[in-house]
Structure 1
């Protein structure tokens, strides 16, 4: 395949479903060789097989991104397989929603570790290769919840941290030709938001209808619509964009 990423190698974490899967598929469709990374090796392989069946190039790698050594091994495997690493999309994340007075330390720690510390591990491992190559594109997934969201003090704190991480890495890595940006989606129709609906005693469909009624575009986003923005920031079309967080939320305020 040819396209914006025909000479690029990308790592996408949390890529077995939702936004991650859509992003991996989008990058591959535009020519990238993609490492589909997920905690579950079987799901990683399945998602990678779907990309190759569609004519793209992909490998599936199981990796616990909260484990620094595992992340280093994963990145090294990608470079050994494809010879380089150009794009990193940090998408892996979880929710453990609860109100502050009921939230456990385990719920706090698991979300901060998975949604923020994992990005530190992945960026640190990837930058070794990007700095050497004097080129890189890092795109981190934040969230509209970074602005505050009832029942998500852990998730909101982590996603706000992603924005600080992004801005700081843009300063540190810019001299090496590496851009670092974040995408902050609003409500996206994924398994994660379906779980949120269940938590509040609703169905995914009814929850989406409620959110859509409060959104200027009167609908929720699909994973592919977020993937298209990630792809822009990962491309040379965004070569002078760095340190930014782009909200993709249908105009919600």
Structure 2
């Protein structure tokens, strides 16, 4: 009998939001290199062109879709197109997100609502629609991208912090209902990674150094260092892992 390798994602259909840059782009390329068929979503048409070009350069399989994650109708239209085109969706990675920085006393309500719409509401809607498909097909993996701010409060990012606490809770809530249906729902909590979202912190010499001093690894993470954790949670190796938030943080939480 031929057994599927424990860490194989070969020929799996993997849908990744926020795949135009940063963590999403790194995950898309990593999964494509591992033999998966990757559906790359961005907020605008053509947003993942560079991601697709890199994947196609080594013979990987990738497809592009787009939707403003704050717009429910656009998200539903995008998912309808995906389900019409692809027979199964094996893995969903809810990575798309946004961040706004203001002191809490001055935080604009419209900015707060936008962050929640993009980071939380879209993740629930996408999980609900694709989760139904996974339940019908009898298997599936959902990986939400959480944050160190799923554990702490941060500074000048109350909306982002609220959204990432919500993602941690949503991960557990969905896992509670869907584990028995062979749909594993888990999350990855990246530590401090060098991405667009952390540019403001890295540009501040004092904050940059204080963060590096706290990280036992002594440096910011690179997006490619999240690929292994994601492949683990997307593969048969994690078949009995449910509702877990996997920190990939250079030791931040241990310090």
Stretches of structure 1 that go unaligned for 5 or more consecutive residues are none
1:168-247 → structure 2 map (5 Å cutoff): 168-198=173-203, 202=204, 208-247=208-247
Paired residues of 1:97 and 1:151 also in contact (CA < 8 A): yes
Q: Supply the distance in 2 between the matched residues of 1:179 and 1:107 (Cα, whole angstroms).
A: 32
Greater CA deviation, 138-147 or 208-217? Answer: 208-217
CA displacement 1:151-183 (0-9 Å, x = unmatched): 111111110000110000001111221000011
RMSD (Å), alpha carbons: 1.8
1:75 maps to which of 56, 74, 79: 79
Paired residues of 1:46 and 1:60 also in contact (CA < 8 A): no
SS in 1 for 2:46: helix
Greater CA deviation, 179-188 or 77-86? Answer: 77-86
Cα drift, residue 73 of structure 1: 2.4
Number of residue-to-residue matches in the alignment: 247
Structure 2 equivalent of residue 164 of structure 1: 169
SS in 1 for 2:252: coil
Cα drift, residue 112 of structure 1: 1.0
Q: Supply the distance in 2 between the matched residues of 1:54 and 1:67 (Cα, whole angstroms).
A: 34
1:94 aligns with 2:102: no
Paired residues of 1:38 and 1:44 also in contact (CA < 8 A): yes
Structure 2 equivalent of residue 23 of structure 1: 27
Structure 1 equivalent of residue 57 of structure 2: 53
Q: Supply the distance in 1 between the matched residues of 2:20 and 2:47 (Cα, whole angstroms).
A: 6
Paired residues of 1:65 and 1:114 also in contact (CA < 8 A): yes
Q: Supply the distance in 2 between the matched residues of 1:231 and 1:45 (Cα, whole angstroms).
A: 23
Q: 1:223 to 1:251 in 2, by over 3 A?
A: same
Paired residues of 1:209 and 1:219 also in contact (CA < 8 A): no
Structure 1 equivalent of residue 143 of structure 2: 139
Q: Supply the distance in 2 between the matched residues of 1:106 and 1:196 (Cα, whole angstroms).
A: 23
TM-score by length of 2: 0.91
Deviation beyond 3 Å, 4+ runs, structure 1: 195-198, 206-210
Q: Supply the distance in 1 between the matched residues of 2:138 and 2:71 (Cα, whole angstroms).
A: 26
TM-score by length of 1: 0.92
SS in 2 for 1:43: coil
SS in 2 for 1:182: strand
Greater CA deviation, 119-128 or 2-11? Answer: 2-11
Cα drift, residue 33 of structure 1: 0.6
Structure 2 equivalent of residue 149 of structure 1: 154
Q: Supply the distance in 1 between the matched residues of 2:71 and 2:201 (Cα, whole angstroms).
A: 26
Cα drift, residue 104 of structure 1: 1.0
Paired residues of 2:42 and 2:66 also in contact (CA < 8 A): yes
Q: Supply the distance in 2 between the matched residues of 1:178 and 1:252 (Cα, whole angstroms).
A: 30
Greater CA deviation, 242-251 or 3-12? Answer: 3-12
